[in-house]
């Protein structure tokens, strides 16, 4: 057992043990390719060495990479936490804060250094390249500009290139705003790290008080994760984070949008269709589809109503009663289908033909109704042939 | 007492063992091919654009007279309900005699940029319901909406009550403004018009990133450290891979539908508060007078239980039942407990409401 309160002596013992670890890794790998580096090498170096030799995950390459990344971070963190344990809670807190901020690299950089901004920046949407180039090229310049120099972006533009100048001023302002919001977000992530450290100390104190010491690396790590998540959740649920998060996303969208305007202007000059034009076509097409479907559905409903009305008439005729008034407004077709009144004294009326049997007359009428009914079916969609292959992901 | 009492020799052993397991696990990992999912046989009964409505085929003919149509969320792929043999809500429902259909939305692309909620709810869902009703020879169907698909199903039932017999909602957000809803919290200050106007369709990677950052250390790191423990078990590894594949197999979101969903649901909370219109028609939850079975997960970090519980009393239904499942947003489909509890609950509830 190492006495962590022993100060420098304890540290020396740590170094010895770490070297033993390295030796064991070397032995286990049975690879004499590389010699152990001087000093006390971090544990994850052993992992890095063997993963280069054996870390091929075949078809599961992406998972293999995530796995190695996570375990590397785990080893780094547990070793550092364990070593810091000898120097007291403050050292643990400092270590934890470091991991919470920079150590989110183990999460693929998900939260460190801009977090959401970084995730958005990596998107492959149009304008991304221009965005990256501009952000990388101009960030150091704008980052160091004095307030007075920045105020120049507000000065009125004039002359032949006035619009272009105003646009560039807006881009510059948007970039500065984006950088400001990124720093604000990073500061909150830093605070999440500090809060996580406090939570971790609380948890350790609780373990000490309840005489349930942490006895394994994994248990130490799990406790750290709990603390880190608690610290993060507290910040992420705050109103300040909500505002900073929204402001950062909005700032990047403004910048992207302005850069897209640049790209589109150049595209127009070169005769290349722009994103706005494609969007416009897509929008009109979708509106047309809606109109077409709406007309078709309305037509179907109208026919269905007509058929319903005719059926009611047939039923009434069969029953020998008066023809009921249609429940809904008659359409032009139903009006045409009704027997047309004839002028009194007309030629045909003077020479009446023998009446057909009612049944036959009704049957002919029914046939017409059935014809309508057949044409009034589109409301229920037909199943298309299922021969088409399933849509694949891009 | 010292809070950390780790024997350094044991710590070294632990670190070495972890790496040994990892090395051996990589051997297993190399042996595992691409995992399969969506295990139950199915036939396509309706297609439109990228949407396909499937009917699942069980080992025996369904005994239920009325079909269930599953309406899944747009933000993930629907095969979570039929992930593998022993983790399949669909398979279990079929075994109980239900007749199960499902809407697969496909992967939206640039051509779908202008699809809005009217297109999805009064268009795609409505025509899918018609297709299923015609295929099954019934006038009304049982609707089973999941997550965002549950919110869509509520809207649909309110707008087309005559086409729905029973309504089942699973892990469905109804109140989007509960204090524990981090996703909602983060979107409140978002200028969604600027966002959609700039990005067009919303990339799936960005959606995934948002979900993972709800619990970043656990989801980006800790779960992979834990994976080392099961690396030597090929079956467990394949289970993990299936889940992993599902998590990262997300469709992009059609821009207009996303804009409306964020604005009206996440920011405006209009589904519960009122004032929601879809396709120019008001959506009033009180118009829903169907029997409702509301199933939610007590440890759901995506849709907090309080967000789902809000359905109780918000509709015009006098036949409301709810099931609080002990598990999370994903466990409600794939855990062993879910296989035992969820399908029989749905089946028994439906059987009492033919």
- Tell me the average pLDDT across B188-208: 95
Instruction: Tell me if B69 sits within 8 A of B101, measured CB to CB.
Output: yes
Q: How confident is the model at residue A103 (pLDDT cuts 50, 70, 90)?
A: very low
CB neighbour list of residue A298: distance below 8 Å, 6 or more residues apart: none
Instruction: From chain B, pick out residues whose CB is under 8 angstroms from the CB of A106.
Output: 220-221
Between B251 and A333, residue with greater pLDDT: B251
Residue A59: Cβ-neighbour burial (10 angstroms; 0-12, 13-18, 19+): middle
**Closest CA in chain A for residue B127:** A381
Confidence of residue A288 (pLDDT cuts 50, 70, 90): very high
Closest CA to A206 of A237, A233, A230, A235: A230
C-alpha of B211 from chain center? 13
Q: Does B227 touch chain A (CB under 8 A)?
A: yes
- Greatest alpha-carbon pair distance for chain B in Å reads 73
Query: Which residues face B69 on adjacent strands?
Result: B101, B143
> Using the 8-state DSSP alphabet, how is residue A355 labeled?
P
pLDDT at A148 over 70: no
Candidates A50, A120, A293; nearest CB to B19: A50
Residues A257, A303: Cα–Cα separation, whole Å: 48
- List all residues 6 or more positions away from A178 whose beta carbon is below 8 Å from its beta carbon: A117, A135, A248, A251, A252, A254, A255
Higher-confidence residue: A75 or A120?
A75
Nearest to A188 by CA among A144, A242, A135, A141: A242
Any idea of the CA torsion for A181, A185, A186, A187, to the nearest 10 degrees?
100
Our CA angle for A264, A267, A268, nearest 5°, is 90
CA B197 to chain centre: 27
Catalytic residue among B147, B164, B171, B346: B147
User: Which of helix, strand or coil describes residue A35?
Assistant: coil
- Is the pLDDT reported for residue B101 higher than 90? yes
CA nearest neighbour of B126 among B76, B170, B69, B74? B69
Q: Which of A114-123, B33-42, B218-227, B290-299 is the least confident region?
A: A114-123
Higher-confidence position of B319 and A65: B319
pTM, rounded to two decimals = 0.78
* Tens digits of residue pLDDT in A303-319: 888 999 999 999 999 88
**Structure-token pair, residue B84:** 């593998």
Joined tokens for residue B140:
């009304």
Contact A110 B198 (CB under 8 A): no
Give first-to-last CA distance, chain A, whole Å.
56
pLDDT of the residue at B36: 76
Confidence band for B48, pLDDT divided at 50, 70 and 90: very high
Does any CB of chain A come closer than 8 Å to the CB of residue B235? Answer: no
**ipTM of this predicted structure:** 0.91
The confidence score (pLDDT) of residue A13 equals: 57
pLDDT at B257 over 80: yes
Would you give the end-to-end CA distance of chain B in angstroms?
Answer: 64
Q: What percent of chain A has pLDDT over 70?
A: 46
SS3 B202: strand
With CB atoms and an 8 Å threshold, state whether B30 touches A213. Answer: no
CA angle B47, B50, B56 (to 5 degrees): 50
A123 neighbourhood in chain B, CB within 8 Å: 199, 203, 205-206
Is residue B244 helix, strand or coil? helix
- Rounded CA separation B267/B194 (Å): 15
pLDDT at A387 exceeding the cut of 60: no
B196 has a pLDDT exceeding 60: yes
pLDDT, mean of residues A135-155? 59
Higher pLDDT, A91 or A65: A65
Residues from chain B contacting residue A114 (CB–CB below 8 Å): none
Binning pLDDT at 50, 70 and 90, where does residue A73 land? confident
State the residue for tokens 């080392």.
B228
Q: CA of B69, closest CA in chain A: separation in Å?
A: 16
Q: Is B61 on the interface with A (CB under 8 A)?
A: no
Q: Is B155 a catalytic residue?
A: no
In this prediction, residues A107-134 reach a mean pLDDT of 51
Full DSSP string of B80-111: GGEEETTEEHHHHHHHTT--EEEEE-----GG
Residue A212 or B197, more confident: B197
Contact, B81 vs B150, CB < 8 A?
A: no
State whether B48 and A243 contact (CB < 8 Å).
no
- What mean pLDDT is reported for chain A? 69
Residues B127-132: what's their mean pLDDT?
Answer: 98
DSSP letter for each residue of B291-320:
-EEEEEETT-SSS-HHHHHTTTTTSS-S-E
* Percent of chain A topping pLDDT 90: 24
Quick check: A363 pLDDT over 70? no
Quick one: average pLDDT of B140-149? 98
What is the rounded radius of gyration, in angstroms, for the C-alpha atoms of chain B?
Answer: 22
Q: Phi, psi at residue B136, to the nearest 5°?
A: -90, -10
Confidence of residue B21 (pLDDT cuts 50, 70, 90): confident
The confidence score (pLDDT) of residue A341 equals: 42
Whole-number average pLDDT of chain B: 93
Q: Which residues, other chains included, contact A300 with Cβ-Cβ below 8 Å and sequence gap of 6+?
A: A376, A377, A378, A379
Mean pLDDT to the nearest integer, A24-53: 52
Structure confidence by residue, pLDDT tens digits, A161-219:
778 888 888 998 999 999 999 999 989 988 888 888 889 889 988 988 998 888 888 89
Residue of chain A whose Cα is closest to the Cα of B249 = A393
How confident is the model at residue B13, as a pLDDT?
83
Q: Six-digit token pair at B232?
A: 């030597």
φ, ψ dihedrals at B52, nearest 5° = -130, 135
At residue A45, φ and ψ (nearest 5 deg) are -65, -35
CB B12 within 8 A of CB A17: yes
pLDDT at A246 over 50: yes
A21: nearest CB among B15, B241, B249: B15
Provide the token pair at A308.
């319903």
* Range of lowest pLDDT (A35-44, A222-231, B133-142): A35-44
Q: Cα B161 to the chain's mean position, in Å? A: 23
Question: Which of A216-225, B66-75, B116-125 bottoms out in mean pLDDT, i.e. has the lowest?
Answer: A216-225
Distance in angstroms (rounded) separating the CA atoms of residues A271 and A171: 24
CA distance A251 to chain B (A): 10
Distances (CA, A) of A333 to A3, A293, A326, B213: 99, 22, 13, 62
- Give me the sign of the Cα torsion angle A300, A305, A311, A314: negative
Contact B26 A79 (CB under 8 A): no
Enclosing H/E stretch for B321: strand B320-325
Chain B: give the shortest CA distance to residue A342, in Å: 43
Region of poorest pLDDT, from A363-367, B22-26, B164-168, B259-263: A363-367
How many angstroms away from the CA of A143 is the closest CA of chain B? 25
Assign B44 to helix, strand or coil: strand
Angstrom distance (rounded) from CA B21 to CA B16? 9
Size of interface A-B (CB pairs under 8 A): 270
A63-72, B62-71, B211-220: which has the minimum mean pLDDT? A63-72
B263-278: buried (b, 16+ CB within 10 Å) or exposed (e) per residue? bbbbbbbbbbeeebeb
C-beta separation of B114 from B255 below 8 A: yes
Q: Which residue has the higher pLDDT, A24 or B313?
A: B313
């Amino acid at each position: 057992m190492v006495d962590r309160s022993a100060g420098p002596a304890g540290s020396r013992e740590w170094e010895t043990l770490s070297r033993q670890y390295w030796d064991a890794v070397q032995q286990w790998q049975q690879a004499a390719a590389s010699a152990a580096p001087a000093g006390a090498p971090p544990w994850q170096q052993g992992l890095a060495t063997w993963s280069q030799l054996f870390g091929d995950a075949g078809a599961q390459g992406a998972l293999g990479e995530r796995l190695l990344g996570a375990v590397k971070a785990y080893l780094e963190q547990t070793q550092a936490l364990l070593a810091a344990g000898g120097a007291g809670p403050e050292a643990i807190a400092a270590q934890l804060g470091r991991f919470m901020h920079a150590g989110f690299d183990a999460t693929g950089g998900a939260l460190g250094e801009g977090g959401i901004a970084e995730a958005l920046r990596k998107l492959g949407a149009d304008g991304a390249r221009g965005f990256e180039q501009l952000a990388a090229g101009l960030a150091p310049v704008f980052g160091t500009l004095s307030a007075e120099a920045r105020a120049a972006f507000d000065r009125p533009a004039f002359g032949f290139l006035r619009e272009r100048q105003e646009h560039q001023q807006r881009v510059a302002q948007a970039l500065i705003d984006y950088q400001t919001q990124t720093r604000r977000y990073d500061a909150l992530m830093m605070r999440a790290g500090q809060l996580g450290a406090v939570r971790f100390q609380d948890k350790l104190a609780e373990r000490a008080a309840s005489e349930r010491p942490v006895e394994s690396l994994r248990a130490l790590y799990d406790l750290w994760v709990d603390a880190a998540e608690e610290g993060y959740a507290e910040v992420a649920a705050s109103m300040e984070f909500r505002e900073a998060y929204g402001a950062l996303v909005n700032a990047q969208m403004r910048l992207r949008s302005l850069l897209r305007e640049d790209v589109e202007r150049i595209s127009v000059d070169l005769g290349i269709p722009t994103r706005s034009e494609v969007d416009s076509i897509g929008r009109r097409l979708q509106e047309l589809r809606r109109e077409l479907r709406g007309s078709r559905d309305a037509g179907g409903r109208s026919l269905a109503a007509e058929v319903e009305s005719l059926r009611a008439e047939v039923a009434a005729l069969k029953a020998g009663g008066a023809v009921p008034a249609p429940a809904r407004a008659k359409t032009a077709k139903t009006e045409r289908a009704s027997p047309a009144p004839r002028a009194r004294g007309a030629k045909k009326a003077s020479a009446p033909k023998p009446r057909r049997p009612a049944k036959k007359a009704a049957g002919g009428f029914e046939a017409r109704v059935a014809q309508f009914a057949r044409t009034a079916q589109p409301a229920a969609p037909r199943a298309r042939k299922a021969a088409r292959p399933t849509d694949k992901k891009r | 007492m010292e809070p950390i009492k780790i024997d350094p020799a044991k710590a070294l052993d632990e670190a070495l063992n972890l790496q040994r397991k990892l090395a051996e696990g990589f051997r297993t990992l190399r042996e595992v091919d691409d995992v399969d999912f969506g295990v139950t046989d199915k036939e396509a009964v309706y297609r439109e654009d990228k949407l396909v409505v499937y009917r699942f085929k069980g080992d025996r003919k369904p005994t239920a007279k009325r079909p269930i149509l599953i309406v899944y969320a747009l933000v993930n792929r629907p095969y979570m309900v039929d992930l593998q043999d022993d983790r399949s809500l669909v398979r279990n429902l079929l075994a109980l005699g239900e007749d199960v259909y499902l809407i697969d939305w496909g992967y939206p692309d640039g051509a779908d940029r202008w699809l809005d909620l009217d297109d999805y709810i009064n268009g795609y869902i409505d025509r899918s319901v018609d297709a299923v009703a015609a295929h099954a020879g019934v006038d009304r169907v049982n609707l089973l909406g999941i997550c965002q698909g549950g919110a869509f199903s509520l809207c649909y039932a309110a707008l087309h009550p005559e086409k729905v017999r029973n309504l089942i909602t699973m892990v469905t957000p109804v109140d989007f403004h509960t204090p524990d809803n981090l996703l909602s919290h983060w979107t409140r200050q978002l200028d969604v018009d600027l966002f959609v106007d700039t990005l067009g369709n919303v990339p799936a990677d960005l959606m995934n990133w948002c979900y993972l950052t709800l619990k970043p250390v656990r989801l980006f790191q800790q779960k992979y450290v834990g994976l080392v423990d099961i690396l030597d078990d090929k079956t467990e590894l394949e289970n993990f891979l299936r889940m992993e594949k599902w998590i990262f197999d997300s469709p992009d979101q059609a821009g207009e539908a996303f804009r409306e969903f964020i604005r009206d649901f996440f920011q405006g909370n209009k589904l519960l508060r009122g004032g929601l219109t879809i396709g120019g028609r008001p959506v009033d939850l009180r118009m829903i007078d169907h029997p409702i079975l509301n199933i939610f997960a007590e440890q759901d970090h995506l849709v907090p239980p309080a967000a789902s519980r809000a359905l109780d009393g918000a509709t015009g239904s006098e036949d409301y039942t709810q099931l609080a499942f002990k598990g999370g947003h994903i466990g409600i489909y794939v855990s062993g407990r879910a296989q035992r509890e969820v399908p029989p609950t749905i089946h028994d509830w439906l059987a009492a409401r033919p």
